[in-house]
Amino acid sequence: MTQHYKREPLEEDEMFLLKQACKTFEESLIINVLLETGMRVSELAKLTKDQISWQRDCITTYGKGNKRRVIPVSSTTRFYLSEYFKEQAKIKYGERWIQKTVKRVAERAKLMKKVSPHVLRHTFAVCYLHKGGNVRALQGILGHSHIQTTDMYLNYSGIRVIDDFKRVWEQ
């Protein structure tokens, strides 16, 4: 029997399994920061200590087209980055290494979906909206020039659709 992997955002239980499958601090850093910021793999690979405002809990980055944007930092992200940057001035991992790390952790978690840094970005976007975040704010966080690009993250399925239906229908 062939196993089918789908390229779609992770559900809550899958995010939990992915985080649990991390064996090293570096793996936990990569998985948690990507899941909780929606950063592109290229942005994480180029991240420096100077880009982080610990007072404002945000990261200033330059994404596609060298556009400046501000990414809010959760307490989990703050923990991992502050620990990492005690010893380092910049992220020492390249894009390919980060991609391989995400794949390795996902395989260890035995997820039945294709997991990549971009899937974690997609997961962040869907979770943000599912928790009540504003689509325009998400557009800014992700660095999208056009709202239509952000709207594609609204195409989610699975347990989130069921939960949303019950919330709306059974009021």
Nearest to 95 by CA among 123, 71, 79, 118: 118
Annotated catalytic residues are: 40, 64, 118, 121, 144, 153
Residue-level pLDDT at 155: 65
Answer whether residue 4 is part of any domain.
no
Catalogue the E-assigned strands of the chain: 52-53, 58-62, 68-72
Answer whether residue 1 is part of any domain.
no
The pTM is what? 0.87
Residues in the chain: 171
Q: What is the 3-state secondary structure (H, E, C) of 23-38?
A: CCHHHHHHHHHHHHHC
Tokens of 168: 């709306």
CATH at 20: 1.10.443.10
Task: Report the alpha-carbon angle 4-9-14, nearest 5.
Answer: 80
- pLDDT of 3 > 90? The answer is no
pLDDT, tens digit, 9 for 90 and up, residues 112-162: 899 999 999 999 998 998 888 888 999 999 998 888 888 777 666 455 666
Q: How confident is the model at residue 5 (pLDDT cuts 50, 70, 90)?
A: very low
Answer whether residue 47 is part of any domain.
yes
Q: How confident is the model at residue 1 (pLDDT cuts 50, 70, 90)?
A: very low
Q: How far apart, in whole angstroms, are the C-alpha atoms of residue 9 and residue 19?
A: 15
Question: Lowest-pLDDT range, 2-11, 14-23, 43-52?
Answer: 2-11
When divided into structural domains, the chain yields a total of 1
Q: How far apart, in whole angstroms, are the C-alpha atoms of residue 79 and residue 108?
A: 24
Answer whether residue 45 is part of any domain.
yes
- Range of the structural domain that residue 85 is part of: 12-169
Percent pLDDT > 90 in the chain is 67
Q: How far apart, in whole angstroms, are the C-alpha atoms of residue 27 and residue 102?
A: 8
Answer whether residue 59 is part of any domain.
yes
Neighbours of 110 (CB within 10 A): 8
